[in-house]
Amino acid sequence: MNKIETAKNSAKHDDIYDKISLELSRIDIIKYIKIYKGHIKASNVVDLKKEPCVKIGEPNIVGLELLIDVESKVVQFFAITSALKGYGDKMVSSVIRSVPDDWKIIVFMDFSHGFWTVMSDRYPRLIVV
């Protein structure tokens, strides 16, 4: 099974989407990745519409949603959740590895109670606003 799908409205997309998706696909628990216009979702679970599920705090879900602004060269963590210890870090490190150095990687709102502080200490490229 191919882990990576593309929404119909995103047939033509920048290479950054493929780079990030490919890196996320290397995480063993991530089974579903979908490229949309302006964002990517990745998860171990799909919802009733067969879309990758990223419901914060839900049991048994590991996934993320990224917003991507190609013109501004910004990748934003919109949502991330991991019911299993260690996979949050794996998803963050996958994104950091796949995003070119001249791009910014941002978290605009931190409701994590410490997760993003640890990640920004570990990955200096990550900007937590």
Confidence of residue 2 (pLDDT cuts 50, 70, 90): low
Q: What is the pLDDT of residues 64-96, one digit of tens each?
A: 999 999 999 999 999 999 999 999 999 999 999
pLDDT at 1: 44
Distances (CA, A) of 63 to 73, 89, 101, 103, 112: 22, 11, 24, 22, 15
Residue 30 · residue 1 · CB < 8 Å: no
Nearest to 91 by CA among 73, 72, 66, 74: 66
Q: What is the pLDDT of residues 9-51, one digit of tens each?
A: 888 999 999 999 999 999 999 999 999 999 999 999 999 999 9
Element (H, E) at 81: strand 74-82
